[in-house]
Amino acid sequence: MAILFYDLCGRDPALRFSPYCWRARMALAHKGLSVETVPTPFTEIAKVENGASATVPVINDGRAIVRDSFEIALYLDRTYPDPPALFAGDAGVAACRLIESWAFTTIHPIIMRMMARDIHDALCDADQTYFRSSRETRFGRTLEEHQTGVEANTEALIKALEPPRHALASFDWLGGGMPGFADFIVFGSLMWLRSIAGAVPLAADDRVALWFARCLDLNGGLARGARRAEAA
């Protein structure tokens, strides 16, 4: 049976923008697994698998219901051990935990300053109400005040991406010789930006931009043709 994959969507069900869902989506494709995707708005998450999770992604493979992108990746390597692997053993898991924390604390705040209001505008009406209330409570100000735009935050993003840029000077992939979950963590964050803002504002010859292009081509170009909000 195909694995059910609950993926956050915008007003247009084809718009999939969550960084965490992109991590899981790439992990599932990396393992070569058959997937049935269920587009899921914010306000429908509580209904997923009878209230199994407050967030997506969630998968159900008929054996278990698993939530959280990192837990999904761990589960996939344990349950479907045939290569290619997502992690290079315990050391790889530990390294990915570090990358996950770095992305959440360093990259995501910059991206939210780029496009918090734009995310809101890409959602259905019920989701807009939820998103505005929850995020404005978190930020302590309105979405309009929080979003200062892509151009105003591009330099901060370029500087924040120095750690992966440095790693990519030595390796083609953040996972080393082959792509793995380390790549999908950072890719998910930048795919979030591409999906809502339309592009990742890096020079074409930036090592991160070149790596991102290679990621777009993985798994038969799964992400390259993904819907963007500007085209929704």
pLDDT in tens, 53-74: 999 999 999 999 999 999 999 9
Q: Which domains, and CATH codes, for the chain?
A: 3-79 (3.40.30.10), 89-231 (1.20.1050.10)
- Residue 1 is predicted with a pLDDT of 80
Banded pLDDT at 231 (limits 50, 70, 90): very low
What is the average pLDDT value for the chain, to the nearest integer? 97
Is residue 199 predicted with pLDDT exceeding 80? yes
- Residue 232 is predicted with a pLDDT of 44
| pTM over the 0.75 mark | yes
- What average pLDDT score do residues 166-192 get? 97
- Residue 209 is predicted with a pLDDT of 98
Is residue 186 predicted with pLDDT exceeding 70? yes
- Residue 112 is predicted with a pLDDT of 98
For the chain, give percent helix, strand, coil, nearest 5: 60, 10, 35
Residue with tokens 């020079």: 203
CB 189 within 8 A of CB 108: yes
User: What are the tokens at 59?
Assistant: 């998968």
